Amino acid sequence: MARTLAKSTRDRFRRRLEDERLRLIEMIRDIEEEREEVRLTETSSDRSPDPNTAEGGSLAFEMEKELSILENTRDILAKVEEALVRIEDGTYGVCDVCGEAIPVARLEALPYTKMCVTCASARR
């Protein structure tokens, strides 16, 4: 059976994950607002670049990049929220695959991880 993290360690990770959740939520909001502004600008008659021009291609590239960042941020947010649930139910810091303790150093590097290094490496 894996060791249980000390309450002070769990509380420290909870605060860190809660701060990260707030930061990610704000980042998602900012990206969505920016995408909406671009969408509204594109639909106006005075700014509707042809996608076959350099300007239109650059705009399309930027929008695709923003969409990718948005998707990645939402994915990380889901992982952070899941880690907060694991803290509450007492499974935080235990590998989902092998059931062994995840080293605190790994949790420091990736606080929302669900797997130890060995199991995560095996999945690649």
What would the two tokens of residue 63 be?
């929008």
pLDDT at site 43? 56
Does residue 2 sit within a domain? Answer: no
Does residue 96 sit within a domain? Answer: no
pLDDT at site 34? 86
Does residue 123 sit within a domain? Answer: no
Does residue 83 sit within a domain? Answer: yes
Give the residue, 66 or 114, on which the prediction is more confident. 114
Residue 91 in this model has a pLDDT that exceeds 80 = yes
Does residue 117 sit within a domain? Answer: no
Give the pLDDT band of residue 60 (cuts 50, 70, 90). Answer: confident
What would the two tokens of residue 106 be?
């790994």
Does residue 98 sit within a domain? Answer: no
Do residues 55 and 49 touch, judged by C-beta distance below 8 A? yes
Does residue 105 sit within a domain? Answer: no
Which of 2, 8, 11, 4 is closest to 95 using CA atoms?
2
The number of domains in the chain is 1
Which residues constitute the domain of residue 82?
7-90
Give the pLDDT band of residue 2 (cuts 50, 70, 90). Answer: low
